[in-house]
Each structure stands twice: as structure tokens, then as C-alpha cells.
A and B are shown apart, each in its own frame.
Chain A
Amino acid sequence: MNTVFGVPIQALFSQLLVGLINGSFYALLSLGLAVIFGLLNVINFCHGALYMLGALVAWLMLEHFGIGYWGALIIAPIAVGLFGALIERTMIKRIAGLDPLYGLLLTFGLALIIQGVARNYFGVSGEPYEIPPQLTGGRNLGFMFLPNYRAWVVLVSVLLCGSTWYVTERTRLGSYLRAATENPLLVQAFGINVPRMITITYALGVGLAALAGVMAAPIYRVNPLMGADLIIVVFAVVVIGGMGSIFGSILTGFGLGVIEGLTKVYYPEASSTVVFVIMAIVLLLKPAGLFGRTA
């Protein structure tokens, strides 16, 4: 059998695919972060907590109202998005224009509170959440068994990333948003309600996180620490891709998922650190990130 550095090619293909699947979550989460940072200049540290909240809302809806996965996929992001709008209106707005450090501290505090409350009520082992019946099972690709649900995750992730990029870069709404970050006063003078646009942007970014949470629920269990485990990696993804660069975070998200997957084959002990090694190297060579604009 053909091998690459001692690993059969078939096994390598399957690891690449698995890496791509994990990369989908990195891309979805870092996308929301990039949108929020790009337009609000806020380093949204509670992104992981809101991702967890999305999964938790999905679980609660199933437990208490009997609303299943498909309903949750729509309702949970909206509910968490509204919660995000509330956070933006009542708290983040007050520190707009200050050093980004304030935003970081505020959202970090929020993350600790949300996680602490969830842990207090639900413990850390998490609650089971079943894969929807339409997406159970899987298909044999010859070199590996691909669960249908994972394929669905990649599909949704690619579609969402693509459309978010399109909206911000190619539509009139996106151009308003971009203009508002460059010079909010001038844009407001054209009769555009900038504060409302900022709230909507934040809610949208948060909604994306919640959507990723719902999609992760059947894979990772619904567990109060699920966001905390992921958020540091996602931040590394955003930094590598270049803060605020939407295209950068999408590409880096998928790319790092694949690199991490390969590390799990060649040197599994390092799989939880490889992302940070890459981050250090990128920061040394290109401080603004791979796709970032130097300010």
C-alpha cells in the first residue's frame, strides 16, 4: 500500500476530511469574531459562552417544549442573537470608542458569568443531544466512513461563510457597515442609523456563534464548558488569519482544522498545541496575520 511518511494514503485522506470537519467549527466561530471585531472593534471574549448558550437553548427547547433540531437551528440563533443585542445595547455600547482592552475585559467577565451560571445548573458532564433522524447514519467513501451529520456540518459551514463574506464585501448593506467602521460620523450624516447597525452586526455575529453551537450539540454533547474549550483555539485562528479579516478567518479556520488533524496522526501529543505554535510563527513573520491589513 502507498504510504506518506509511514501513514497509508487512505488513512491520510480520512484524517484530512476529519480535519476539514473540525475546521468548519473554527471557521464558523472565527467568522463571527472577525465580523464583530472588524465592525465594532470589540474583541468578543464571550463568543465561546454564547456558542455554548446556543447549544444549551437547543437542549432546553427539546427538553421543555419538545422542539427538535430543525426548530432549534432557527430559534436558538435568534434567541441568542436578541440576547446579544441586549448585551450590546446595555453594556458594550457604553465602552465604544475606548481602548479595545475594555471590551475584552467586559466580554471576558460576561463569559465567566454565563459559564458559571450554566455550570451551576447543568454540571460539567453535559446533556445528550441526539442527531436528527434525517441525518443519522453515514456513507462509506471507500477510504473512510463519513457520518451524514458531519457532512452536513461542512456544507452548512461553507454556505454560511460564503454568504457572510458576500454580504459584507459585495452588497450595499455591507458597504454601509464597512463605511461605518471607517468613519461613523460621516455615515450618520448620510442619514444612516449607525448605532442600530452596530447592534444588528453584533447580534448577527452572536447569532452565528449560537448557530455553530446548535450544530455542535449532537457531536460534542451540550456542556457548559464546550465554549471555553474552543474559544482559545478560535482566537488563535482569528489572529493567524488577521484580526477583522473575514476571508482570512474562514480560510485559516478550515486550514488549521486540517493541520490539527494531520498532527493527530504524526504526533498526537502535540495536537492541542500545534495551533499556537503556528500562531507564534505567523506573528513573528507577519504581525498583522496572514490576511490582515497593517494599521
Chain B
Amino acid sequence: MRIASRLLALVCLLPLAALAQEKVVKIGVLNDQSGLYTDLGGPGSVIAAKMAAEEFGNKVAGMPIEIVTADHQNKPDIGSSIATKWIDVDKVDAILDVPNSGVSLAIAKIVADKNKVFIDSGAATSDLTGKACTPNTVHWTYDTWALANGTGKEVVKAGGDTWFFLTADYAFGKALERDTTAVVQANGGKVLGSVLHPLNTPDFSSFLLQAQASKAKIIGLANAGGDTINSIKSASEFGIVQGGQKLAGLLVFISDVHALGLKTAQGLQLTTAFYWDHDDKTRAWSKKFAARHGGKMPTMVQAGVYAGVLHYLKAVQALKSDEDGKAVVDKMKAIPTDDPLFGKGSVRADGRTIHPMYLYEVKKPAESKGPWDYYKLIREIPADQAFRPLSQSDCPLITKK
């Protein structure tokens, strides 16, 4: 009898407990889980987000943290409908990662309309913190301006003053070509021509022959993932580099270098926000990550998802609420960023996270001491020079002031 009454009392308490638990901090990782950008973000980004949540004990300001994930298949319409459902039905508070500039621009708008939080790591277009900036967007890892400023400037300085672009035919490729062209011209270089290729092209030999015929000293690859891999591979086969022309990979991820192999990729210069073997902190985190991701080291995109979630949770903790997306992003801008992967930095008024960028060169096979030992540092680009200065910004949040 006593037991029965206790049980009854417990049952009476249950709804209260449920009520108190109703608020969940829900983080949605939205990226390419099956196509050509899977390896640079994909399931690895989800692991990175989980690792950040675990550091908070999966709880922030008394609310449990839940991570959900979906595949946007690189299609803006699919990405948009997932984001809308996530926010309206599943009560997702923040959307993370979202590679593919086309999809990310669509998501940024939806998230702003619904006043949630968008922390992009995977997309490249500098428009996210430029003309398409919103009070709800944070762009964490890199952008086309930073890539152009890193690789583009360095290559022109080293004498590569005539360029021909192979450009992926969508928002990202065009933004990257535009930003790199600006850097090349500003440094006294000339762009001789470009060719727009469809996304996910299996064979680049035709385009490379056109680049070869242009006689440009530098062939700039304004593409990413599988497209970059295929361009570099075809170029080595067709003797482009032996012919005296040089390739400049404007966006190269470590997963691309891994797929190419050092023999093909050696000597390639690239700009990145993160390399696992940078210091003790990045090594320690990356080894933990690799242990959970089939031995694969994290890309800068996956690192950015981790750091983005960490900073988001700090802001939620400070506010003790995740309700008002703009307020959370304002808080993220107010508190300085500090994490083991990107170091100390800040989120700027336009949503751009400021941290150093690095110019690396891919090692020769003989220089590599083991698996994933791929890069050697050429130069660190200090945080205050790595990204587009606010004075050049076309972000309405900045220009309105």
C-alpha cells in the first residue's frame, strides 16, 4: 500500500518534471551527407558538434543539448525546406555547417526571418558577411576573400602575374573568382580568361587544354572538393606543370590532399584556417576526433563546426536562454572567442569570425613522416589581415551605421 501511494505521488510529479525539461537546446547540422562535399563536412561535422556539446556535459544553462542532422544534397530547395521544418516543427535553435554557398545563402535568409541562429562553417562565399549579411549569421571558418587574400596574393608576389580560372559554375565559384581577380589585379597581375565548368565534372582535360592555350602562368582553381581533385589529377596527367604553368588551388581541404596522394599534390600551396598538426592543442583534439571518425583527421570545416558550437553554447549560457536568435548572436559578438582550435579571436559586427589564416604547402612524399602528415607552414596571416576589412564591407549592418 505504501509503495502504491509512493508510485502515485511519483506519477503526479512526472508532468512537472516533463514541463521543466521541455526546453531543449537543439542544434541542427545541415550539410552534404552523400555527395561530393561529404568528406570535408558530412558526418565528421556531426561528430565535431557532438564533441563540443559533450564538453558542456550535454547541458547548457540547465537545458539539455540535442544534435540533429540532415542531408541538403547540395540543393538550395531541399536545404530550405529542411531548415523551415527544423525551425517550425522540430524547434531547432541553431543551424550549423551548411557547405555549398548556394544553399547557405538560402538558409541565411530563412534563419534571419525566423530569428534563429546560423553559424556557417562549410560555405565559402564572402557574401554571407557581405551584401547578404544578417543579424543572425555568423560565418566561422573561412571565406572567398580570405582564400584569395592568402593564396592569390602570395602567388602574384612570387611572380605568377597572369591568371586563367577554372571556375565552378555557381555562387561559390563565381564569388571565389571575383575575389581572387580583385586581389590579382590589386597586386599588379592580369587575368587572361576563365572557363565556367558544371558542378561535379568528372573530366577536366578539355578545360585544362583551354587553360594551357591561354599561356597564363597560373591556372587558378576556383572550385572545391571532388572538382579540385579531378582538376589537379588531370593537370598532372596532361603535363601542365611540366609545361611551365602552375596550379593555384584556391580552396583545398585536407580531405582533397588525402584523396590525391602526396605524389600528385606535392608543392601545391593552399590557404586554410586550421591544420590538425599546428600545435599541441589542435593535435590533442584532432586525435580524439580521428578516433571517432575512422582515423580521418578533421578538415577546417569540421574544426569550425566544433568551435562554432562551443562559442554558441557559451553565449546561451551567458544569456540563460536560446529563444531570441539575434540576442544570442549579439552575445556571441560581445564575448571574445577562445577555443583550442582557432585560438583567441572575436566575432565581428558583420558576423565574420576573426582568427589567423595560414598559408601551407603540400609536402613532398619524402618529407612526410606518416599518414596525414601533409602540410608545411609557409606563413601565418595575422587575424587583422586575414579577412575583408570592415571599411570595404558592403554588409547593410555596417553601411547603415
Contacts and interface: CB of A to CB of B under 8 A. Distances in A.
Given A125-B39, A125-B225, A264-B206, A219 B259 contact: no
Contacts of A8: 213
Nearest to A271: B198
Contacts of B255: 123, 125
Contacts of A221: 229-230, 233, 259-260
A128 B203 contact: no
A94 B36 CA distance: 36
A18 B203 CA distance: 10
Question: Which one of B206, B256, B264 has the greatest number of beta carbons of chain A within 10 Å?
Answer: B206
A124 B296 CA distance: 13
Nearest to B39: A125
Contacts of A223: 226, 259
Contacts of B239: 138, 145, 147
Interface string B184-197: 00000000000111
Contacts, number: 110
Size band of the interface chain A makes with B: 35 or more
Nearest to A140: B239
B198 A147 contact: no
Contacts of B296: 123
Interface stretch (A37-45, A161-169, A224-232): A224-232
A22 interface: yes
A268 B259 contact: no
Interface residues of B, number: 41
A125 B40 CA distance: 9
A150 B237 contact: yes
Interface in A187-243: 219-221, 223, 225-226, 229-230
Given A11-B209, A220-B203, 6 more contacts: A8-B213, A123-B296, A125-B256, A226-B202, A229-B200, A265-B206
23 contacts: A22-B203, A123-B39, A124-B35, A124-B36, A125-B225, A125-B255, A125-B259, A131-B237, A138-B237, A145-B238, A219-B203, A219-B234, A219-B237, A220-B230, A221-B230, A221-B260, A226-B202, A264-B206, A265-B206, A269-B169, A269-B196, A271-B201, A273-B198
